[in-house]
Structure 1
Amino acid sequence: MKIASIPVSICLSMLWTIWLFSCEGRKENAEDLKDKDNGWGIPSEAALLQQPEFDSAGLAQGKALYDIYCWACHGETGMGDGAAGGAMGSQPANFHSEAVQAQSSGVLFWKIGEGRGTMPAFADVLTDEQRWYLVAYIRHLGSGKAEVESAPGPQALREGIKVEHWMKVAPRAIRILYERERHRLWYVTFEGEVFRFPLDRPYEVEKVLSVEDHGISRLQGAALHGNTLYLTGNIRVNDNKGTTGWMMRIRWDKDQPVVSKVFSTVEYGTTNTPFDHGWSATAISPDEKYIYVVSGSRTDHGEVQDNLGAYPGSRDEPLTARIFRIPIDAEDLLLPNDIEELKAMGYVYAEGLRNAFDIEFDGQGNLFAVVNSGDYDQNEDMFWVREGHHYGYPWVMGGMETPQQFPGWHPDPENDPFLNTAAVARLDDFYNDPGFAKRPQGVVFTKGMDNYGPDANKFRDTATGKVMDASDLKIPITTFTPHSSPLGLVIDREQKLPGPYKGTAFTLRYTKGSKSGLMKPFTELGEDLLHLEMSYNPEKDNYDLRTTRVAEGFSQPVDAVLVDNDLFVLEYGGRQRGGNIWKVSIE
């Protein structure tokens, strides 16, 4: 199978070209290979494979393939710091490491083809020539001499929208918050750091907490309530094979942090995959009595994910794929991994949400969530979240039934166009599955919101398998283009925005089609800001949605916060470069 050629402009010096080609003469003997095997089972002949010589255009092909298939886990600069790899127990390889650079190109070529554990096998996805292109580009990244192309920065797409750079931020930033009383912005990183600064003086940024202060080593959620910060995430246990969810409360007393635990969970298994989403989005209820918190799914679509046998037969758990409601004054709760106990305690608010990475209240107290679907070509959801409702996961995502729930289903990429070509590398997660969980009896699944476009509404037609634009057909879809990864949901709940933006909402698409093998069949667009006009439809007892792109050109936009007429957009960034905060003025 071949993918379309993608033009990428990369300037290379002649010295670099000579260095790259000289690497290919390097060989490993059998003893060297044994020392570097680390459980891969590398055949001795792999070290003898010789890379073809490529010019700069071949290296450009390698970069294009890297952006589509590797970037999400291994990171923009190849340091193993991609956001999708953050959930894994065994972290993606750092191509700058001596261990990787010491391996022959033949071994790297073989590993790309075969895969192991969480590393997909690409032999049936990429041609031999494309795998050699990747090897060349991996060498390029790992040399330390590679220059990542500088994007022009975000650009406004509509009148009344202005985008300007506000500040650089620490690597792997994940949440941004606004403290109204002191007119400050806060942001937190995936690795547990917390920063704050006066909104009008971003150069006065101060680091106020580290992971040692609160203990959450995989931090994905945060909320502010007065002078109190709530942090949510996961801590690995059982030699990194299991996990526990945590929420910590940090109250500032005379500018000194006082730390206490809101809750933790009992142990349950991680999956060692990008699907293990963990505890994330956190929001304070309008009446200030509760904290709402999301626990994402631990699987892609309800399949068995046993973490290489550590938790046999495990799929999703009672502590996953749900939104929980916790009293704001709770102290040191222990949440059990038992759905009946959790419901009896009153903590389960809604079920069946795969990865609601962001939630937000509107001015009337309604809760909304943007939700990521799995690797199958189902649409991404936006839900009006109501107490006691079930939203369909793992049986329904994006308004479409998950085929693996049906005992007679056999995955066949040749005949099932919804088995995305990029996901074929992980085809082991799709299989005939008679043990798939049965649908809960008597439960009616609540649909996602219908999106009437004009943007972010591509879909794959169930009858033909072709990618269609719902606007061309004058029909809605449920809800966004597949694999968009909507994040950073904000709502103008105080009705302060001007003109057509008053009382409306925004969300970010983290993914970009030109950099994602999953999303690429649908669109080249993404990493953009979507304007959402929501209107209640009494016939559906649900909200309809109209979606318009208003800015593009962000790099891994992960969260946003609205301050008066300004939207501050946070970028995730890698370990090497960090991200940015952009100020989007709405006039």
Structure 2
Amino acid sequence: MNNTKLYNYMKGRFIGKFATKTLLFTITLLFTIILLNHSTTGVNIVPQSLRPDIKVRNIINTLSVSPSVRIVKDPRNNTLYYLKQNGEIYRVDLDSSTKTLVYNSSNHNLSETQGMAIGPNGTIYLVGNADVVNNQTKAIIVKGVINSSTRKRIWSILAQSADYPKSKTAYDHRFNGIVVSLDGKFIYVNSGSRTDHGEVQSVNGLYPNTREVGLTACILRLPSNSNNLFLANNRATLKTSGYIFAEGTRNTFDMAFAPNGDLFGTENGPDRDMSEELNWLRLGGNYGFPWRIGGTDNPQQFPNYNPTTDQLLSPQFNAIKKGYYRNDPTFPIRPTENLIEPIPNLGPDADNYRDPVDGKIKDASVLGQSISTFTTHRSPLGLVFDTQGVMSREFSRDGFMLSWTPGDPTGETLTGPFKDASQDLLHLKLTKVGNTNYKLNATRLVIGFSNPIDAEIIDNKIYVLEYGGNQGIWEVSMPTK
């Protein structure tokens, strides 16, 4: 999987804030220039903490012929594991900084994997995809249950989807993110969209007038004790079976439970300059895709849409080059039920946007505004929470998140976040707003990762896995109480 493809998978204080942003801007500029020269070339750049009380060290490098895609812990004993795209699973010894291959495709029969989670009883869940005939794909979710007698894992298929059509574009996100419920009874699995923004993708006429299908752009909830469940490519059937947890999600590549049990998910946005989202995921919720993206309307749903006057279309991006943004009279009618909005970000960081009126890049919090939720094209993922409350009061029980895409710290020369270098670790201070939503403040803590793709948290330490460079695992030590 190349970087472009994976990108599309994913793809306060007034005076004090200005002073802080000026300092961070200078630091970010230096390290981003270096990263632009070395990212994903096998050369690892040392990440830099922006605070003296946060320490960063390399645990191990995981570079091999297959990219590293997930890092998880066994909640029974805090043993750390990472997953390769080819299905290899390695155990990490944090004391000796060594790795051991423990499972591969010969054990679980998946050769292309994008998701991994471990339940409270130690069961490993893997999410895989397989290409089939006629430019179709299918999802396969397996579990490795520990045999009580032999202590070895017995692998079996938990669920398998029907074959469904790919779009043969960079927007075939397929099945990827997975999380286990706190009681271990359910797994939540993301199925990404097959389109950039709900446009027709007919695969040169093979699937006429096809946009999203029953199995795409949704989050499924499946009983963890299931065996050989069949997931039909029909939204009504999936709902009747109780498998649809949420819909209207473009590509929720990562999900995590907060200490209070609320489920959150990061959302990768389209090629148009629309904000990337963090959502509070709830049963039966519709999160707007493809009608609402990043807290704003998708203009292609309107009959008078003219892409030539759209200030949010950059010619650098594939969907614009291909003409996927067009006047579209047959665009589906917007649902009548209320669509759930993303969590607003009040800054100070990761909150740049392009003004749809004048096309200029602006900093929302500097202007006393918020965006929903992050600077466009950041590809947010690697979401974790201090569920144990072991960190210092400033961070206790808060969220932390990575951003995958390199960006331009000074302008908009790259197909990534503008005036925002990304590839960082953010602190997310979430505040609940009644029972309707949350708001958050995002602050950068560590910069200079090489395409960080996933994170795990053990006590006060956040472990960051890189997709680029030497695919390092970095330990970020947070201050404690």
Q: TM-score of the superposition, structure 2-length normalised?
A: 0.87
Letter in 2 for 1:282: I
Aligned mate of 1:385, from 261, 277, 281: 281
**Equivalence for 2:159:** 263
SS of match in other structure, 1:468: strand
Q: Residue 518 in 1 paired to residue 415 in 2?
A: yes
Give the CA deviation at 1:84.
4.2
Once residues 243 and 71 of structure 1 are traced to their aligned partners in structure 2, the CA distance between those partners, rounded to angstroms, is: 19
1:533/1:381 CA distance change after superposition, 3 Å: same
Once residues 429 and 233 of structure 2 are traced to their aligned partners in structure 1, the CA distance between those partners, rounded to angstroms, is: 38
Structure 2 residues not aligned, in runs of 5+: 11-37
**Equivalence for 1:497:** 391
Once residues 256 and 86 of structure 1 are traced to their aligned partners in structure 2, the CA distance between those partners, rounded to angstroms, is: 33
Once residues 315 and 224 of structure 2 are traced to their aligned partners in structure 1, the CA distance between those partners, rounded to angstroms, is: 45
Give the CA deviation at 1:376.
0.5
**Equivalence for 1:72:** 3
SS of match in other structure, 1:428: coil
Shifted more, 499-508 versus 399-408: the winner is: 399-408
1:187-586 equivalence runs, <5 A:
187-203=82-98, 205-225=99-119, 226-238=121-133, 241-253=135-147, 254-412=150-308, 415-423=309-317, 426-440=321-335, 442-514=336-408, 517-519=414-416, 522-538=418-434, 541-573=436-468, 578-586=470-478
SS of match in other structure, 1:343: helix
Between Structure 1 and Structure 2, the one with more strand by share is 2
Letter in 2 for 1:83: L
Letter in 2 for 1:347: Y
Give the CA deviation at 1:158.
2.1
Q: Give a deviation string over 1:147-181, Cα, whole Å, max 9, x none.
A: 95845410001242111111011441001011243
Q: Give a deviation string over 1:376-396, Cα, whole Å, max 9, x none.
A: 110001111111111100011
Give the CA deviation at 1:314.
1.8
- Determine which structure has more spread, i.e. the larger CA radius of gyration: 1
Once residues 312 and 211 of structure 1 are traced to their aligned partners in structure 2, the CA distance between those partners, rounded to angstroms, is: 36
**Equivalence for 1:158:** 51
Give the CA deviation at 1:494.
1.8
SS of match in other structure, 1:499: coil
1:41-60 equivalence runs, <5 A:
none
Q: Is the 8 A contact 1:218 1:233 kept in 2?
A: yes
SS of match in other structure, 1:472: coil
**Equivalence for 1:83:** 6
Once residues 357 and 213 of structure 1 are traced to their aligned partners in structure 2, the CA distance between those partners, rounded to angstroms, is: 25
SS of match in other structure, 2:286: coil
Q: Is the 8 A contact 1:421 1:518 kept in 2?
A: no
Once residues 199 and 78 of structure 2 are traced to their aligned partners in structure 1, the CA distance between those partners, rounded to angstroms, is: 46
Q: Is the 8 A contact 1:163 1:582 kept in 2?
A: yes
SS of match in other structure, 1:567: strand
Give the CA deviation at 1:211.
2.3
Once residues 461 and 397 of structure 2 are traced to their aligned partners in structure 1, the CA distance between those partners, rounded to angstroms, is: 14
Once residues 346 and 508 of structure 1 are traced to their aligned partners in structure 2, the CA distance between those partners, rounded to angstroms, is: 32
Q: Is the 8 A contact 1:183 1:198 kept in 2?
A: no
Q: Is the 8 A contact 2:344 2:370 kept in 1?
A: yes
Q: Is the 8 A contact 1:492 1:504 kept in 2?
A: yes
Once residues 367 and 314 of structure 2 are traced to their aligned partners in structure 1, the CA distance between those partners, rounded to angstroms, is: 23
Give the CA deviation at 1:195.
1.0
Q: Give a deviation string over 1:84-126, Cα, whole Å, max 9, x none.
A: 4889xxxxxxxxxxxxxxxxxxxxxxxxxxxxxxxxxxxxxxx
Give the CA deviation at 1:530.
0.5
Letter in 2 for 1:189: K
Query: Aligned residues, how many?
Result: 442
Once residues 229 and 284 of structure 1 are traced to their aligned partners in structure 2, the CA distance between those partners, rounded to angstroms, is: 10
Q: Percent identical across equivalent pairs?
A: 37
Letter in 1 for 2:247: E
Q: Is the 8 A contact 1:279 1:294 kept in 2?
A: yes
Give the CA deviation at 1:278.
1.0
Once residues 45 and 408 of structure 2 are traced to their aligned partners in structure 1, the CA distance between those partners, rounded to angstroms, is: 16
Letter in 2 for 1:304: V
Give the CA deviation at 1:207.
1.3
Q: Give a deviation string over 1:400-459, Cα, whole Å, max 9, x none.
A: 1111111221321xx32201121265332112211211112x311111011000000001
Q: Which runs of 4+ in 1 moved over 4 A?
A: 84-87, 147-151
1:579/1:368 CA distance change after superposition, 3 Å: same
Between Structure 1 and Structure 2, the one with more helix by share is 1
Once residues 403 and 225 of structure 2 are traced to their aligned partners in structure 1, the CA distance between those partners, rounded to angstroms, is: 34
Letter in 1 for 2:56: V
Letter in 2 for 1:155: Q
- CA RMSD, 1 decimal: 2.2
Letter in 2 for 1:364: N
Report 1 or 2 for greater relative contact order, CA contacts < 8 Å, sequence distance ≥ 6. Answer: 2
**Equivalence for 2:20:** none
Give the CA deviation at 1:555.
0.1
Once residues 473 and 296 of structure 2 are traced to their aligned partners in structure 1, the CA distance between those partners, rounded to angstroms, is: 36
1:492/1:532 CA distance change after superposition, 3 Å: same
Q: Is the 8 A contact 2:75 2:122 kept in 1?
A: no
